[in-house]
Amino acid sequence: MPVPWFLLSLALGRSPVVLSLERLAGPQDTVRCSPGLSCHLWDGDVLCLPGSIVSAPEPVLVPTHLQTELVLRCHQETDCELCVRVVIHLTVHGHWEKPEDEEQFERAADLEFEEPRNASLQAQVMLSFQAYPTARCVLLEVQVPAALVQPGQSVGSVVFDCFEAALGAEVRIWSYTQPRYQKELNFTQQLPDCRGLEVRDSIQSCQALPWPNVSADGDDVRLVLEVSEERHFGLSLYWNQVQGPMKPWWHRNLTGPQTITLNHTDLVPCLCIQVWPLELDSVRTSICPFRKDPRAHRNLWRATRLQLLHPLGWQLEAPCSLTAEATLCWQALGGGPCQSLVPPLPRENVTVNVSSWEKVQLQECLWSDSLGPLKDDMLLMETRGPQDNRSLCALEPSGCTPLLSRASTRAARLGEQLLQDLQSGQCLQLWNDDLGALWACPMDKYIHRRWALVWMACLLFAAVLFLLLLLKKDHVKAASRGRAALLLYSADDADFELLVGALASALCQLPLRVAVDLWSRRELSAQGPLAWFHAQRRQTLQEGGVVVLLFSPGAVALCHEWLQDGASATRAHGPHDAFAASLNCVLPDFMQGRAPGRYVGAYFDSLLRRDAVPSLFLAVPVLALPSQLPDFLRALQGPGVPHPGRLADRAEQVSQALQPALDCCVRPLGTPETGREMGPEAGDGT
């Protein structure tokens, strides 16, 4: 199947240089302007309110370009601060208005328009500066003599000294006039840190910085931090991004001096190192030493991933920002090199972020990610020329074959049919722009057409066979999972709960899927006993399972209480007593004849007599444990129970598992349980 892919190329930018800065004396701000202009700086900062853009009926002075320069403002020889000098270039904007009829208004023109054309221009230029946590706004008054006033011409510049800023800070500068005649100019700049400037002896905060040195250690890189002993500092390795915040990779608080080894496989061009003393408001210094390292660029390409997004998007994932160029090509079904489209479609220049020094190709097939499994389709290319002229050809290993040609290729033989498929909408469009489009037309209906019925019969047979296997698999899976059983009991005392837990655990080994409130206390507390029972009962019966009523003296007492008082019984029960809550649904099932096939009763013959079970429940099997364990297991497992001999073995296993817990619960028959009130009907046979 012919598929498009993308060619990506990168190129690295130059590394930063070390700057030597001009020094300014004194703390006062100043302003100066080009020869011929006069300018004045208002005292103090002002409030910046750009306002709306207004029209200029006559020429006005507006800022058209901003430049910055870094200088030092020094109070003493070794006590300086970094400062940003701003240069504003000014231009005359607009034209003089002229009368519509020169002859009619000749006199008016001489009197009214000659004077303003010889007048000077004056402007109030606002300069706004932001660098966290500083924000300032100053007002400059500029006057241009009439001799320099030429509409559309530059008249010179104004220089403002200067805005103080922190090392390494990001500064933003805006400039506009008041009133505002056009969109304000804006400028953003990332200031260098101590390492990028010759200021280590001039700025006090730079004198105390730890300085990292990078050297080779075989294939790896050694990072040496020249820090005095017992001095604490922070070290961070991060990926520097042109767009968006930096991406932290590794961070530690250390005590100097330190030597750290970096694996050469971790190096990428944007990997930077930042160090700073662990002090309040300390200055941080950063270096990015691997921008031109060939190993770093090779690692970057190894870590780069190209992913195609449906329908026509793509995403490049890399540790560093990249500048990429995406182009379309196609590859024949049998493989081979990806060939350019003929005629080629225009390339898409997509800027993701920063640059690289070499050209590398990443290939990703559109079909594999966007259009499903690989198919033997024909790729048609539509070329659009002037005057809406269109031509179609099919991409084949031998080239692009016109559809209505007499060539001996497959595309030429099926040209008319492919053209009809395209016109009838049976082809899928892969690409579309002003110069052309790409279409994928299915070819399966033209391959082995005379064998279509045979293939259909084979497919039908395979589908039936698969369905039978699936049904058998579901049956085996259901059998292996075991039948669902919901175990209801009355929590007479702690020993009886241990006995119930032993019974439930033993039944799970048969296998049976047992649900018991003893294992669901958290859900029971969250939902409440009645809601928990309703959910478990509905799920168990929907899956063809069975509800097990485990009778004990406490359970018998609760049943008699409900039968005497009905649903209005108000005796309080524990928050985990699911048996008491379940009687509201269980007893109506028995009264209305819905219990057979859904319920099974059981009791421990050493704790309760059969005649103590209320007669209402005898509508279903009520079996003694452990004496009737084989019958009990047969009732639980339902149809398809194992061989009687195997069932007896399982009953013996369950009996052995129950015996230790049963010995702890044995007491004289008819003795009430500790901690639970028993009704007089507990031993009654009615």
- The pLDDT tens digits of the residues spanning 227-267 come to 767 778 888 888 877 665 667 778 888 887 778 888 888 88
Poorest-pLDDT segment among 312-326, 370-384, 466-480, 585-599: 466-480
Backbone φ and ψ for 2, nearest 5 degrees, come out as: -65, 135
Residue 599: its pLDDT value, please?
A: 92
DSSP assigned state of 377: P
Residue 398 lies in a domain: yes
CA 159 – CA 88 distance, rounded (Å): 6
* Per-residue tokens: 458: 């084979």
Domain extent at residue 124: 23-94+119-200
How would residue 481 be classed by pLDDT, with cut points 50, 70 and 90? low
CA 129 – CA 169 distance, rounded (Å): 12
* Per-residue tokens: 181: 């005649």
Same domain as 589, residue 609: yes
Average pLDDT, the chain: 76
Q: What CATH number did the domain enclosing 625 receive? A: 3.40.50.11530
Residue % of the chain over a pLDDT of 90? 9
Q: At which of 297, 314, 340 does a domain end?
A: 297
Residue 580 lies in a domain: yes
H-type alpha helices, 155-244: 204-207
Residue 492: its pLDDT value, please?
A: 83
CA 524 – CA 532 distance, rounded (Å): 6
Same domain as 371, residue 242: no
Name residues whose C-beta falls within 8 Å of residue 50's C-beta, 6 or more positions apart in sequence: 126, 174, 176, 180, 184
Sheet with 154-164, edge to edge strand ranges = 22-25, 60-76, 79-93, 154-164, 30-33
Q: Which helix (H) or strand (E) holds 455?
A: helix 452-481
CA 56 – CA 51 distance, rounded (Å): 15
CA 118 – CA 461 distance, rounded (Å): 99
Residues 320 and 302: beta-carbon distance below 8 Å:
no
Q: At which of 248, 282, 297 does a domain end?
A: 297
Same domain as 553, residue 431: no
Backbone φ and ψ for 242, nearest 5 degrees, come out as: -70, -40
Residues 232 and 207: beta-carbon distance below 8 Å:
no
Instruction: Please state whether the peptide bond connecting residue 559 to the residue before it is cis, i.e. omega within 30 degrees of 0.
Output: no
Residues 31 and 41: beta-carbon distance below 8 Å:
yes
Same domain as 60, residue 174: yes
Same domain as 587, residue 649: yes
Q: Which helix (H) or strand (E) holds 343?
A: none
pLDDT tens by residue, 127-185: 999 887 788 999 999 998 888 888 888 889 999 999 988 877 788 999 999 888 888 89
DSSP assigned state of 307: E
* Per-residue tokens: 233: 């500092």
CA 523 – CA 518 distance, rounded (Å): 11
Name residues whose C-beta falls within 8 Å of residue 417's C-beta, 6 or more positions apart in sequence: 446
Same domain as 523, residue 640: yes
239-246 LR contacts (CB < 8 Å, sep 24+): 239/268, 239/270, 239/271, 239/272, 239/319, 239/320, 240/270, 240/271, 240/272, 240/288, 240/320, 241/270, 241/320, 241/321, 241/353, 242/321, 242/353, 242/354, 243/321, 243/353, 246/272
Rg (CA), the chain: 44
Poorest-pLDDT segment among 73-77, 295-299, 346-350, 443-447: 346-350
Residue predicted with more confidence, 199 or 22: 22
Choose from 271-285, 318-332, 440-454 the range with maximum mean pLDDT: 271-285
H-type alpha helices, 304-404: 366-370
Residue 112 lies in a domain: no
Same domain as 219, residue 175: no
Residue 450 lies in a domain: no
If you write DSSP's letter for every residue of 31-92 in order, what string do you get? EEE-TT-EEEEPSS--------B---SS-EEEEEEEEEEEEEEEEETTEEEEEEEEEEEEEE
Distance of CA 308 to the CA centre of its chain: 17
CA-wise closest residue to 686 among 590, 607, 616, 588: 616
- DSSP 3-state percent helix, strand, coil across the chain (nearest 5): 30, 30, 40
Exposure pattern of 194-205 as b/e (b: 16+ CB <10 Å)?
bbbbebeebbeb
Residue 6 lies in a domain: no
Backbone φ and ψ for 111, nearest 5 degrees, come out as: -85, -40
Whole-prediction pTM: 0.38
How would residue 356 be classed by pLDDT, with cut points 50, 70 and 90? very low
The tally of domains found in the chain comes to 4
99-108 LR contacts (CB < 8 Å, sep 24+): none
CA 504 – CA 393 distance, rounded (Å): 73
Residue 596 lies in a domain: yes
Same domain as 284, residue 172: no
Residue 678: its pLDDT value, please?
A: 38
Q: Which helix (H) or strand (E) holds 13?
A: none
Residue 622: its pLDDT value, please?
A: 92
Same domain as 245, residue 160: no
- β-pairing, 546-551 vs 483-489, is parallel
Poorest-pLDDT segment among 347-351, 530-534, 603-607: 347-351
Residues 237 and 273: beta-carbon distance below 8 Å:
yes
Residue 458 lies in a domain: no
Residue 33: its pLDDT value, please?
A: 92
How would residue 111 be classed by pLDDT, with cut points 50, 70 and 90? very low
Q: Which helix (H) or strand (E) holds 550?
A: strand 546-551
pLDDT at 374 over 60: no
CA 453 – CA 558 distance, rounded (Å): 70
CA 236 – CA 248 distance, rounded (Å): 7
Q: At which of 260, 281, 297 does a domain end?
A: 297
Same domain as 283, residue 407: no
Segment 533-537 shows an average pLDDT of 87
Q: Count other C-beta atoms under 10 Å from residue 563's C-beta.
A: 16
Same domain as 144, residue 270: no
Residue 361: its pLDDT value, please?
A: 56
Distance linking the first and last C-alpha atoms of the chain: 82
Backbone φ and ψ for 413, nearest 5 degrees, come out as: -65, -35
Same domain as 219, residue 183: no
Residue predicted with more confidence, 87 or 194: 87
Poorest-pLDDT segment among 345-349, 571-575, 677-681: 677-681
- 383 SS3 class: strand
- 25 SS3 class: strand
Residues 225 and 256: beta-carbon distance below 8 Å:
yes
Residue 84: its pLDDT value, please?
A: 92
CA 247 – CA 240 distance, rounded (Å): 7
Residue 449 lies in a domain: no
